Amino acid sequence: MTPKTFIFFGPSGAGKGTQAKILIEYLKKVDPEKKTLYIETGQRFREFITEASFTATQTNEIIENGGLLPEFLPIWIWSEYFVKHVSGDEHMILDGLSRRAYEAPILNSAMKFYKREKPFVIYIEVSRDWARERLLERDRGDDKIDQIEKRLDWFEKNVVPAMEYFKNNEFYNFITVNGEQSIVEVNKELMSKIGM
């Protein structure tokens, strides 16, 4: 199988992580010879802030205070991962990358540099009300209503324009999946649209 690339978008609560993990399991089963790289920037940051460095300490302080990370950090966190782990013959699943419009051309330059063929951009679409309900249901510490509203505002203001970049770029296969279904139904629609 040709190495495939999948870039997930969707608001918090849309189920991106769940669908990414199901896709990873599927790829491992149908193409066991190839590695599948899964890059989830939130997780990478959680790992990074445990390091004993000035940058990690500063980053942790910003995150704990609900602040906005400086522009270079998210790009650095996934760029460094690419440089260290991409061999050119693996499947790639990207979740939480290019969350601001200015990041989109930079991610695009990486996709072209690594000669990724027709990456799939998967938008798991849910209404704001649906996302809010899912986030309240999971009852995590950072899922207070005001923080949820902030995250959903952030998605609309910043992530949607980044997504539009890929939608309007013929280098990508942009697909929209209805996220307001059961996990199984979302997965069925997704797999059908990516031709698997």
CATH of the domain at 170: 3.40.50.300
Amino acid, res. 138:
R
Tokens 């309007």 — which residue?
168
pLDDT digits (tens, 9 = 90+) for 177-196: 999 999 999 999 999 999 98
- For the chain, how many structural domains are there in total? 1
pLDDT digits (tens, 9 = 90+) for 97-136: 888 999 999 999 999 999 999 999 999 999 999 999 988 8
d(CA 177, CA 188): 10
Range of the domain at 117: 5-193
pLDDT digits (tens, 9 = 90+) for 135-164: 888 777 666 788 889 889 989 999 999 999
SS3 call for 25: helix
d(CA 184, CA 149): 27
d(CA 19, CA 122): 10
User: By the 8 A CB rule, do 27 and 120 touch?
Assistant: no
CA neighbor of 23 nearest in space, from 44, 37, 12: 37
Residue 23 pLDDT more than 90? yes
